[in-house]
Amino acid sequence: MMSAQRLAAPVRLSALGMYVPERIVTNDDLSHIVQTSDEWIVQRTGIRQRRRVAENEHTSDLCVRAIEDLLAHHPAVDLNEIDFIFVATTTPDYVYPSVAAMIQDRLQMPRSMGALDISAACAGWCSAMNLAAAMIGSGQIRNALIIAGEALTRSVDYEDRSTCVLFGDGAGVALIEYDERCALSGMDSTTDGSAGPSLYRTATRKEMDGKIDPAGLLRQDGRDVYRWVVENIPSAVDRVLQRAQLQLSEIDWFVPHSANMRMIEALCKRMNFPLDRTLTSVERYGNTSAVSIPLALIPAVRDGRVKAGDRVLLMGFGGGLVSAGAVLTWL
């Protein structure tokens, strides 16, 4: 059943940028660190390589480089006119100051702007986008930079082959601004905190679900997360479509969080959505958490696959366990 009223925000994404570190880590490279192989990784995940930060490179650096890429492709953008910075990350340089505040300082942006880091793991990009859209729609701000940045290779346990082969680093950014054509619709979020022990990192608290883990590294029960995604994300997609007053058949492109190609294949099969209309980044960049959606979307926009008028269904999901999604009409 369609919702009684279409949920839409008076915004559009008007500029995009991305950056990945120079260092490429192949599956063969990882086979020298843990007991694995290129064949094993590709069969189970679809990942062929990922990027890794340099020793002196941090999440804030990745984000700044992504903004520089945005400016190179969109030279008319004026950073002095930005009202807010949202950064989605689980690997900030510091607990505080926030990565968003560091970016404001690094790029000498106005002190009158707002700055906020968002911790929503792999749902971070869509969460930041939807929050920025709400603030623009309410009149609090005119525009914002929504940024996802992750240095995940610093958070993995290289003695655990089930997780260390999955993750990579990178950053993506978009300028979101007011537009009365309402190019963003169907915004939705879900939360299942009971599934938190399936994907977590300890911090000041060193225990999770009765297990002591002082290392502060990423822990994941891949089977549990896979099951949760396949069982729960199709209904989250349905809610987005209902709020946008659209049918799945009206969607031109699906951009789910690129966690694992086998998970994406199962999700598309469950939804009955064609895999060849699904944009992914996991093959080249691994699981980059909040960054995986922009790393899939931006190349498709730049090479002309995503065209003006296309409806793009974005759906992030991950640690929490949480999801966030929306339909973006590309203008």
- Which sequence positions are flagged as catalytic? 122, 257, 287
Which segments of 34-91 does DSSP mark as H helices, in order? 38-45, 59-73
Which segments of 201-286 does DSSP mark as H helices, in order? 222-244, 261-271, 282-285
For residue 30, what is the DSSP state? H
- Determine the Cα–Cα distance for residues 315 and 206; give it in Å rounded to an integer: 31
- Determine the Cα–Cα distance for residues 57 and 216; give it in Å rounded to an integer: 20
- Spatial contact of 280 and 269, defined as CB atoms under 8 Å apart: no
Residue owning tokens 């480089």: 65
For residue 121, what is the DSSP state? G
Residue of 130, 319, 132 lying closest to 243 (CA atoms): 130
Which segments of 138-285 does DSSP mark as H helices, in order? 161-164, 222-244, 261-271, 282-285
Q: Is 13 helix (H, G, I), strand (E, B) or coil?
A: strand
- Determine the Cα–Cα distance for residues 299 and 73; give it in Å rounded to an integer: 12
Q: Which helix (H) or strand (E) holds 99?
A: helix 99-106
- Spatial contact of 91 and 62, defined as CB atoms under 8 Å apart: no
Residue of 107, 24, 120 lying closest to 315 (CA atoms): 120
